[in-house]
Amino acid sequence: MMLRVLSLSAGILLSTLGLAAAQNATLVADTISFDGANRLVASGAVEVLYGSTRLKASRVVYDQATDKLSIEGPLTLVDGDTIVVADEAEISQDLRDGVLESARVVLAEQLQLAATEVNRVSGRYTQLYKVAVTSCHVCGADDLPLWQLRAKEIVHDQDARQLYFDSVQLRVLDIPVFYLPKLRLPDPTLDRAAGFLVPSLRTNSQLGTGLKLPYFIPIGDDKDLTLTPYFSSSTATIEFRYRQAFASGDLNVRGALTDDDLVSGQRSYLFADGSFDLGRDYTLSFDIEQTSDDTYLIDYGYNAKDRLDSAISLERVREDDAFDATLTYFKSLRSGEQTSTLPPLVGDLRYTKRLNVRGGTLDLSGDIHAHQRFSGTNAAVQSGATPFSFAPAGRDVTRLSAAALYQKGWVMGGLAIDFDARFGADIYTSGDDLGEADTLSRARPASSITMRYPLAKNTDQATHILEPVLQISWADTLGDTPRNEDSTRSEFDEGNLLSFSRFSGQDAVETGLRTTVGLNYARTGKDGWHYALSAGKSFRADTDDDFAATTGLVSRSSDWLLAAQVKFNDALTLTNRAVVQDDLTFQRNDLRLSYQTTDWRLASSYYWSQADADLPNTDFAELTLDGSYRFDRYWSAQGDLRYDFNEGTAARAGFGVSYENECIVVGAAVSRRFTSSTNLDPTTDFDLTVSLKGFSTGRSRGTMEKSHRCN
């Protein structure tokens, strides 16, 4: 009989909650009884569970005559991302209509809505009266939130996931600061909703003080548009960003239109990029970069590039072959540099096929390269005959190349041997160059053998690896010698120590017999400390005047290439690379440091290179710093610096602070660009952003944060 009463009571109660298939639900209560023929009473820690819905209350009464469910609190109803806490409630049997007194609604653990009365209407709308809204954790009745919205009435549309405010007032520390008669905001469960995003206040030494107010417009589930008006005393600008996702790729477009006091006429920029899968392993990618004038991007902080490159490419990479075709257009924003002589238009087409031959691999490749300058001026040699005195002017070039590379390796008694042999052929055609034949051809045979003898030792504290390296290589060119356009700025580093050619491009080839020696050492410590040291040097039969003096590769005996690295777990990394002459005179040095802990993040580099008489602007010394520090749970600071030792002044500096807790994010930053030119003036920027969390602007810190504040 008791089981029957419990089953019947559960069925009646669950049906009043609007839950189908009541036999799948569970009712738990200390006491279940009938008060007359039409009233069921469950009391003492009442709990109803059905799927993801859970109701807790001290007493539940169902009156069959009125078809009402009376619930005495404190009651808690959890339904997905919504939590309702109230003192008492009277609800219809299907939970679609009802009244909750002194209720508090928590949406997605982010937003709290406290109201004197809550009405449930048609199972979709929730009406709240005399409401206080905040995402700050409120621990008690006397606890004052940092910010809150007070409203006469709020309607929550559960299907549309929108909050509609009537007579809303923003209060900071309970002080009224802003009023709106009507307001609509998305609830925290909605990821994409039309409306205003976080505004920012920007003060610029050239543009004055202005406000940016982004407005987000979703256009279906696969695309959206963001419009950002930017107004100040010196500019009227509209920024835009369009994004669209396709089944086979994605598209991103961003840009701006401006009318300001800095330049006469309208200013604009457009950046767009996309990537699409065409099937059969082919991928189409494109990148468009365009601006109305040379300083627009840096004046408004959109981008610091001084050369724009727009490109379209088609590529396919498979296990045994690779194909890619790229067409690129360059535009210079540098003072004194003309786009017409860059060259602005560059095209490349490449195909490589890999075959397995006699235990090794044979790579067969072909490529076509072409670049065109819009200038009609003929190329000339300014003085002497070195590649660094060549002025390409309007020279146009097409190069057709084919190459074969065979590679095979052996291991003999711990000695690892790698053998490479290659043969290449090039045909050049050129125009607007009176000093060179219209058509040139050459062959490029080369071969090398590399031997490594790695030695390892394990101890209780660390693992040590010592690896001496010896390479003997030979290369030559047969036929004509083309102009060197793509290899005037080469460097000597670990990446090309054992390369066939240390030139950066293909126009110049490092020829002759060459021997390269190297030594690598690495220690991996169980205490977290790791060390690595490398040294390398090349010896050649003849000098090569095609290299710049500061590369360290001109004479028959190259400079020493030295590299060292120290690491401690994932916190500290110190790396130094240098090119050093035999008399210990440095040609180039690059020092990098990174340090990261829970509170600290620091990245720094110092680069120095000696001046080269053959190349302009090679005397270089620069320090960069970029770091942040978290003072506590809420406060953090960020800073960056770029200092030019040649000029004796900072090129750029910035500093910012931010405060973030579970309900608000405040950020303030100031930056200064010190560089100047004929068309660019130094500028200072100040930015301020304030974001109220809870309306899809960021997750709160959750239970841990609440526990920390309320205990």
pLDDT at 490: 83
pLDDT at 398: 96
pLDDT band at 677 (very low <50, low <70, confident <90, very high): low
pLDDT at 710 over 60: no
Nearest C-alpha neighbor of 481 from the set 437, 447, 514, 522: 437
Percent of the chain at pLDDT exceeding 90: 51
pLDDT at 222 over 60: yes
* Rounded Cα distance, 691 and 477, in Å: 64
Q: pLDDT: is 411 or 139 the higher one?
A: 411
Q: Give mean pLDDT, residues 242-246.
A: 97
* Rounded Cα distance, 672 and 654, in Å: 6
pLDDT at 20 over 60: no
- Dmax (CA) for the chain in angstroms is 115
Q: Which of 160-169, 188-197, 526-535, 571-580 has the lowest average pLDDT?
A: 188-197
pLDDT at 76: 87
pLDDT at 12: 45
pLDDT at 31 over 90: no
pLDDT at 524: 94
Q: Please give the torsion angle defined by the CA atoms of residues 633, 634, 635 and 636, in that order, rounded to the nearest 10 degrees.
A: 70
pLDDT at 18: 38
pLDDT at 24 over 60: no
Which positions ≥6 away from 187 have C-beta within 8 Å? 107, 108, 111, 156, 161, 162, 163, 695, 696
* Rounded Cα distance, 601 and 357, in Å: 50
* Rounded Cα distance, 43 and 552, in Å: 89
Q: pLDDT: is 372 or 32 the higher one?
A: 372
* Rounded Cα distance, 213 and 602, in Å: 32
Dihedral sign for Cα atoms in the order 581, 587, 588, 591? positive
| Phi, psi dihedrals of residue 224, rounded to the nearest 5° | -155, 165
Q: pLDDT: is 386 or 244 the higher one?
A: 244
Do 276 and 261 contact (CB within 8 A), yes or no? no
Element (H, E) at 627: strand 620-630
Q: Which residues of 340-350 are buried (b: 16+ CB within 10 A; e: fewer)?
A: ebbbbebebbb
Strands 200-204 and 380-381: unpaired
Do 9 and 1 contact (CB within 8 A), yes or no? no
pLDDT at 49: 75
pLDDT at 381: 63
Q: pLDDT: is 68 or 213 the higher one?
A: 213
Which tokens sit at 520? 């690598």
Chain position carrying tokens 């290299």: 547
pLDDT at 453: 96
pLDDT at 16 over 50: no
Which tokens sit at 431? 């125009």
Q: What is the distance between the terminal CA atoms of the chain, rounded to a whole angstrom?
A: 48
**Mean pLDDT for all residues in the chain:** 86
Q: pLDDT: is 98 or 644 the higher one?
A: 644
Q: Give mean pLDDT, residues 604-625.
A: 84
Q: Cis peptide leading into 468, omega within 30 of 0?
A: no
* Rounded Cα distance, 117 and 106, in Å: 15
> Which of left, alpha, beta for 332 (phi over 0: left; psi -120 to 50: alpha)?
beta
Nearest C-alpha neighbor of 492 from the set 500, 481, 502, 484: 502
The pTM (predicted TM-score) of the whole model is 0.82
pLDDT band at 705 (very low <50, low <70, confident <90, very high): very low
Which tokens sit at 106? 């928590």
DSSP 73-97: EEEEEEETTEEEEEEEEEEETTSSS
Could you report the per-residue pLDDT of 259-298, keeping only the tens digit for each?
Answer: 999 988 999 999 999 999 999 999 999 999 999 999 999 9
Quick count: other Cβ atoms within 10 Å of Cβ 469? Answer: 19
Q: How far is CA 27 from the centre of its chain?
A: 50
pLDDT at 708 over 80: no
pLDDT at 126: 86
Do 589 and 578 contact (CB within 8 A), yes or no? yes
Could you report the per-residue pLDDT of 474-492, keeping only the tens digit for each?
Answer: 999 999 999 888 888 888 8
